[in-house]
Amino acid sequence: MPHSTDLSGYGVVPIPIVCIRNGAGPTALFMAGSHGDEYEGQVALAGLARDIDPAGVTGRIIILPALNAPAVAAGRRVSPLDAGNLNRAFPGDPVAGPTAMIAHYVATVLLAMADLAIDLHAGGRSCDYVPCALIRSGGTEAEQRELAELAVSFGAPITSISDGSGGGGRTTFSAVGQGSGVPVLTAELGGGAALSREGLSIAEQGLRRVLQRYGLLSGSTVDPASPTRFMRVRGRGAFVYAMQKGLFEPAAELRAVVQAGDLAGVIHAIDRPWQAPEPVLFTEGGMVACRRAPVLTEAGDCLYKLLVDVEPA
């Protein structure tokens, strides 16, 4: 990516990309490091790139383990070059700055080559996540069926079906994938800027199973997929927010099933130790899929995200 600075007027930011191609077949696009502080996907994709024997490939596998390389190098969600959040920068812009340039290249060059795409995430520094896959709702019936089959072969314990209203809207990679008719599976594999062994294993096995399902890889042994549980966000009430600054003491663990009115946690005022901590309640029921990781909390920080089962049609 071109990046012109005081000390490097004709400089570029190198972004690692691995392309393994053998014969004619579909193209898979695998990415991680869209947010730099989310690690299972970065490790799984680098491992996949080293591990694949090109002789067993039929088609093309494009792997970017550190997509927003400046954010990855800084261990941050956003780029230190322009504070850009890559998964809120789609469809991008070729001249608007580093993060928008990466998004534009992915959307116009790489996605245009792809028959399927997987974008690996985690909760980063701000959240802990129950490992899950995400697919987007709102496509045609055929697109929804293909996404569901992709999720079944990826085999995360949970697949969350999302309409993008959780914050990304039309600015995410999965949104541009839907716009261009390419099935995109996203995954949240862990959080807290740590490395979840469970999430790493889900990614390692799931990527290989998907390659086999699309006829892209043979001769690699993988376990059969465990069944995935399809869930969704019911509405805005699934997101619980802090309304004051303080120390967040959570009351519910990841995977807990909660009811409307249950205590979600309390927020302790930093400067008024004599004041009773402020209770925060769940306003909807569901399963705790995501919880804020840092204790120090500001008004407006998201504390929880809940999922509910998708009712069989």
- Whose Cβ is closer to Zn ion: residue 104's or residue 121's? 121
Q: What would the two tokens of residue 175 be?
A: 């949104």
DSSP letters for 96-129: S-HHHHHHHHIIIIIHHH-SEEEEEE--GGGEEE
CB of 55 to Zn ion, least distance (A): 34
Residues 99-128: x where in contact with Zn ion by CB under 5 A, - otherwise, as a string: ----------------------x-------
104 within 8 A of 92, measured Cβ to Cβ: yes
CB of 87 to Zn ion, least distance (A): 6
Cα angle: 157, vertex 251, 128; to 5 degrees:
40
CB of 40 to Zn ion, least distance (A): 11
In the Cβ-directed half-sphere of 235, how many Cα atoms lie within 13 Å?
A: 5
Interacting residue with Zn ion among 28, 32, 35, 100 (CB under 5 A): 35
CB of 86 to Zn ion, least distance (A): 9
Given the rule CB under 5 A, which of 35-43, 166-174, 213-221, 234-242 is the region that contacts Zn ion? 35-43
Distance CA 247, CA 224 (A): 43
CA distances for 132 relative to 128, 152, 166, 289, angstroms: 12, 12, 15, 8
Which secondary-structure segment (H or E) carries 46? helix 40-51
Which secondary-structure segment (H or E) carries 163? none
What is the number of the residue whose Cβ is closest to Zn ion? 121
Given the rule CB under 5 A, which of 30-38, 39-47, 109-117, 304-312 is the region that contacts Zn ion? 30-38
- 91 prior amide bond cis, ω within 30: yes
For 199, the 3-state DSSP assignment is helix
- Whose Cβ is closer to Zn ion: residue 35's or residue 136's? 35
- Whose Cβ is closer to Zn ion: residue 38's or residue 204's? 38
CB of 194 to Zn ion, least distance (A): 14
| Number of shown-chain residues binding Zn ion (CB under 5 A) | 3
- Whose Cβ is closer to Zn ion: residue 126's or residue 212's? 126
Given the rule CB under 5 A, which of 28-36, 152-160, 238-246, 250-258 is the region that contacts Zn ion? 28-36
- Whose Cβ is closer to Zn ion: residue 49's or residue 120's? 120
- Whose Cβ is closer to Zn ion: residue 123's or residue 286's? 123
Give the burial class of 291: count Cβ atoms within 10 A of its Cβ; 0-12 exposed, 13-18 middle, 19 or more buried. buried
Given the rule CB under 5 A, which of 32-40, 127-135, 168-176, 270-278 is the region that contacts Zn ion? 32-40
CA distances for 21 relative to 107, 196, 204, angstroms: 21, 30, 20
- Whose Cβ is closer to Zn ion: residue 36's or residue 250's? 36
CB of 191 to Zn ion, least distance (A): 10
CB of 140 to Zn ion, least distance (A): 27
Give the burial class of 212: count Cβ atoms within 10 A of its Cβ; 0-12 exposed, 13-18 middle, 19 or more buried. middle
* Subset of 197-256 contacting Zn ion (CB under 5 A): none
Q: Is 76 in the site for Zn ion (CB under 5 A)?
A: no
Distance CA 87, CA 121 (A): 10
64 within 8 A of 33, measured Cβ to Cβ: yes
- Whose Cβ is closer to Zn ion: residue 27's or residue 68's? 68
Query: Which residues bind to Zn ion, rule: CB under 5 A?
Result: 35, 38, 121
